[in-house]
Amino acid sequence: MTLINAEVAPEQERLNWGRLLMDGIPYADLTAALERGEDVSWFDHWMKTAADYEKEAQRAVDAGHRHTAGELFVTASLCAQYAQYLWFGEDRAAGQQRKVDLYLKAAPYLDPPAVRFDLPIDDVSVPGYLRVPDGKGPWPCAVLIGGLESTKEESYRFEELLLARGVAIATFDGPGQGEMLAGTAACGDFERYTSRVVDFLIEDSRLDANRLAVVGRSAGGHYALRSASLDSRFVACVSWGGYVNFENWEGRAPLAKESWRYVSKSANMDEARIFVEECLDVRPVLAELRVPTYFQQGALDFVPVSQVETLKKHAINADLTVVVEPAGDHCCHNLGPRPRLEMVDWVADQLRTGGSDQ
Amino acid sequence: MTLINAEVAPEQERLNWGRLLMDGIPYADLTAALERGEDVSWFDHWMKTAADYEKEAQRAVDAGHRHTAGELFVTASLCAQYAQYLWFGEDRAAGQQRKVDLYLKAAPYLDPPAVRFDLPIDDVSVPGYLRVPDGKGPWPCAVLIGGLESTKEESYRFEELLLARGVAIATFDGPGQGEMLAGTAACGDFERYTSRVVDFLIEDSRLDANRLAVVGRSAGGHYALRSASLDSRFVACVSWGGYVNFENWEGRAPLAKESWRYVSKSANMDEARIFVEECLDVRPVLAELRVPTYFQQGALDFVPVSQVETLKKHAINADLTVVVEPAGDHCCHNLGPRPRLEMVDWVADQLRTGGSDQ
C-alpha cells in the first residue's frame, strides 16, 4: 500500500477545530499543536500529549481521584485518536492501538462506567462499549455509529448528553473502523454488524429491548439509515451529517479520499471511488425504513444538501424530521453544542412515551 | 464618571480565549465575535448572541427539554456576562441585568437546581445561589468567590466539577461585584460578606457546617485568603490565581485598570491604584489563616510569582499547597481543564475524611 506523505498534505484538514473541540480536545492542546516546532510531526506531537495526559490520569488514579482519572484518560485517548486521524504514516496502527488502550483505562472510571464487549461474527468480533445509567431500569438505549476516521472511543461528550437524559449508550467499531479495520474493510453490509450489537443488547435485562435507537455521524449517518432500514428492532434513527448515497467524491478533501481508500482497502483511488459510490447507497432498501428518522445537515457541508430530497424520495414510509442548518459545516461541528442538544432531545423524546426528559 | 471609549481599547483584552472557553462560551461564538461586522460593537454582538440562546432555551422549555433549557439559558447568561465584561459603555448596566435575569431563568433547570438567596447586610443584601446534590447529605460545601469582572453567574462549569465530587456549592456577589456594585463598591472587608453567606449556609440541614471551604478566583483568590483568615468556620481555602497583596499595577492591562477604578468607584486612576494597593492586602491578618490552603499561580501571570514567597512569609500557621504552573497565564485559563481538576480534587479531599472521591 502506498502511503501519502501526510506532512505535505494540508494540516488544516486535520485541524478541524469544531470537531476536535466538541469531541473534547481542550483548546489549549489545539493551540499547542499549532505552535509546535517544525521538526515535530502532527502524529508525534499528539502522541506525546496523549502520554502527558496518561501520566496525569495515572496520578489521579493513585490519589483516588476517580472522576479526574476518567476525564484525563478519555482526553489521552482522544489525543491518540487525533494523532492517527487522517494520518497515513506507518505509525498509524500504533496510534490506533494507543487510543484503544487508553480508552480501556478510562472505561472503569467513567460514570456510569463503559463496559467492553466483543461479539463474535464470522471469524472476527465486533468490539464495543456499553454504558448503562445507575438506578432502576429498564433503560432505553442508543447505538452510536462513527463515520470515516471515527471509532467507538470518540463519542464520550456526546454520550454524556444522552446519559443525562436517561438513555443508555452502546458504541462499537464496524467494518473499516478502529479495531475492526485490520480484519474487515469498510463494506456495503454494515447493518450486519449493527444487528450483531442489537442481538447482544436485547439480552441485557437492564435495557428495554423495545426502546432502541441508532445514531450515526457522518458516514455513520449513512450506516444508521441502512441499519434502521434492515433491522426492525430499532424504533428511531438519527443520521447526523449523513447521506443516503455517497455523492461529490471530487469535492472531498485529499486526506478524506485517501482515508476512504485506506478503510476500503482499495488498491487505488479509482477503486476507492467505485467502492463509495456503489457500496454506500441505501436507496434500494430505504422504503424499509419505517421508524421516525432525524436527518441533520449543514448547508455548508461537502455532503450535498440535495441528499434531503433523495431521502424524501426513497424513505417513503418513515416519519422524517429534517434539519438543515444554514451556517453548518459537516455534521455542524462548527455551530457548537446547540445542534447536538436538539438531536439528543429528539432521541430521548422518541425513546420515551411522552412527558419531559426528567 | 468618565467612560473610556472601549471600542478603541484593545479587544484582545476582552477576548480571553482560555477563560471564555473554560467558563463555557462555545468556540463557535468566539469565532463569530471575531468575525462580526465592523459596525457591530462587542457589546451589541454578545447581547444579540445572548438573545439567540435565550430564544432556543425557551423553545427547549416549551418542549419539556429541561437539560437543554438549563444549558442554553446558562450559555445565554454567559454571553451577556461577556457582553458587559470589561465594557465601560453606558449600556453596561443593562448587560449586567440581562446576565442576572438569564441565569435566574436557567436556575431551576440546572441539575441540581440553583436556588437564589438574598441575605440582608447593612442596608443592602448579598445575592447568591446555592446548589446542593440530590441524595442523602449532609454535604460539604464550597463557597465560590469571583474576582474583578466576575459574578455569581459565571462559575457553572466549575460548579459541575465540584458537584460531581459530592460538594455543594454557594456563589454570591460581594462588594464591587455584579448586583452588589450599585450599592456597595469594592472594599477592604470582603470577608464580612463571605461570613454573611456562611451564617446562612450553617443553618441549612442539608449541609455539613463542619465541612465548608472557600474557593476564590483571581481577585476572589485574594478575598478567599482574607475570608478564611477571618472566619474560622472554613476548613479549607483555595486561592486560584490570587494574591496576598496587590502588586504590579503598572503591569495590568488598560481595561483591567479601568475596571478597578469602576468597581472601587474611584474618581480617577490614582485613587484606584491607592485603593488596590492599600485595601487589597491580607498580610496583616494572614497569621490567622490556620486551615489547609491551596495557592495556584501561573508563572506567566501578571500577578508576580513572588506572591508565593509573600504567602509563605505571612501565612505561617497554614498548611500550604503551592502549585506554580510554568506555562500558566492568569488563573491558568490557558492550560485547559487539568489545573481545575487538580484544584477540585484537592477541595474534595479536604472536605472528606479519607478515601476516594466516590
| Domain spans, chain B | 12-111, 112-358
Nearest to B348 by CA among A74, A54, A133, A68: A68
Place of cell 476582552: B14
Nearest to A338 by CA among B196, B177, B239, B25: B25
Identical fold at B12-111 and B112-358?
no
CA angle B221, B223, B228 (to 5 degrees): 95
Contact B21 A29 (CB under 8 A): no
CA distance linking residue A254 with residue A241, whole number of Å? 19
CA distance linking residue B165 with residue B288, whole number of Å? 29
A1-111 placed in CATH 1.20.1440.110:
yes
Average pLDDT, chain A: 94
CA distance linking residue A161 with residue B238, whole number of Å? 30
* Residue numbers in B near A17 (CB within 8 A): 27
Place of cell 429541561: B66
With the C-alpha atoms ordered A332, A333, A338, A344, is the resulting torsion angle positive or negative?
Answer: positive
Place of cell 449517518: A221
Residue of A nearest to B17 (CA): A27
Catalytic residue among A23, A149, A204, A208: A149
CA distance linking residue B297 with residue B289, whole number of Å? 19
pTM, two decimals, is 0.94
Q: Which of B18, B28, B60 sits opposite A27 (nearest CB)?
A: B18
* Residue numbers in A near B71 (CB within 8 A): 337, 341
Enumerate residues 6+ apart whose C-beta is below 8 A from A136: none
CATH of domain A112-352: 3.40.50.1820
- Could you read off the pLDDT of B175-226 as tens digits, one per residue? 999 999 999 999 999 999 999 999 999 999 999 999 999 999 999 999 999 9
Question: What amino acid is encoded at A92 in this protein?
Answer: R
CA distance linking residue A196 with residue A48, whole number of Å? 36
pLDDT for residue B34: 86
Q: By the CB < 8 Å criterion, does A34 face chain B?
A: no
Taking the CB of residue A328, how many other CB atoms lie within 10 A of it? 21
Which has the minimum average pLDDT: A21-30, A33-42, A242-251, B217-226? A33-42
- Could you read off the pLDDT of A235-294 as tens digits, one per residue? 999 999 999 999 999 999 999 999 999 999 999 999 999 999 999 999 999 999 999 999
Cell of A84: 492517527
Largest CA distance in chain A: 58
pLDDT for residue A14: 83
Please say if the pLDDT value at position B16 is more than 90.
no
Average pLDDT, chain B: 94
| Residue B143, min C-alpha distance to chain A (Å) | 21
Question: What amino acid is encoded at B97 in this protein?
Answer: Q
End-to-end, the C-alpha distance of chain B in Å comes to 52
Can you list the alpha helix ranges (DSSP code H) found in chain B? 17-23, 27-34, 42-62, 66-84, 92-106, 156-164, 191-201, 219-230, 254-264, 269-279, 307-314, 338-350
Is the N-terminal amide bond of B133 cis, ω within 30° of 0?
Answer: no
Q: Which of the two residues, B73 and B356, has the higher pLDDT score?
A: B73
Q: By the CB < 8 Å criterion, does B358 face chain A?
A: yes
Predicted-assembly ipTM surpassing the 0.85 threshold: yes
Catalytic residue among A179, A258, A301, A329: A301
| Best of A34, A65, A300, A346 to mutate (most B CBs within 10 Å, chain B) | A65
Can you list the alpha helix ranges (DSSP code H) found in A233-305? 254-264, 269-279
CA angle B71, B83, A325 (to 5 degrees): 50
Place of cell 454578545: B46
CA distance linking residue B161 with residue B334, whole number of Å? 18
Q: How many Cα atoms occupy the beta-carbon half-sphere of A351 within 13 Å?
A: 34
Residues A169-186: what's their mean pLDDT? 97
* Residue numbers in B near A58 (CB within 8 A): none
Q: Which of A27, A60, A336 sits opposite B336 (nearest CB)?
A: A27
pLDDT for residue A7: 45
| Residue B287, min C-alpha distance to chain A (Å) | 30
- At what angle are helices A42-62 and A27-34 packed, to 10 degrees? 150
Superfamily of domain B112-358: Alpha/Beta hydrolase fold, catalytic domain (3.40.50.1820)
Q: Give residue B7's pLDDT band: very low, low, confident or very high (50, 70, 90).
A: very low
Question: A87, A79 in Cβ contact below 8 A?
Answer: no
Nearest to A147 by CA among A178, A101, A119: A178
User: Residue B172 forms beta bridges with which residues?
Assistant: B128, B145
User: Residue A214 forms beta bridges with which residues?
Assistant: A143, A237
Nearest to B214 by CA among B350, B73, B40: B350
Cell of B10: 484593545
With the C-alpha atoms ordered A255, A258, A260, A262, is the resulting torsion angle positive or negative?
Answer: negative
User: Residue A40 forms beta bridges with which residues?
Assistant: none
B 86-145 near A (Cβ less than 8 A): 111
CATH class of B12-111: mainly alpha
* Residue numbers in A near B340 (CB within 8 A): none
Residues A31-45: what's their mean pLDDT? 91
Q: By the CB < 8 Å criterion, does B166 face chain A?
A: no
CA distance linking residue A352 with residue A358, whole number of Å? 11
Which has the minimum average pLDDT: A341-350, B24-33, B93-102? B24-33
**Interchain CB contacts (distance < 8 Å): A and B:** 93
Q: Which of the two residues, A273 and A16, has the higher pLDDT score?
A: A273
Q: By the CB < 8 Å criterion, does B5 face chain A?
A: no
Residue of A nearest to B333 (CA): A28
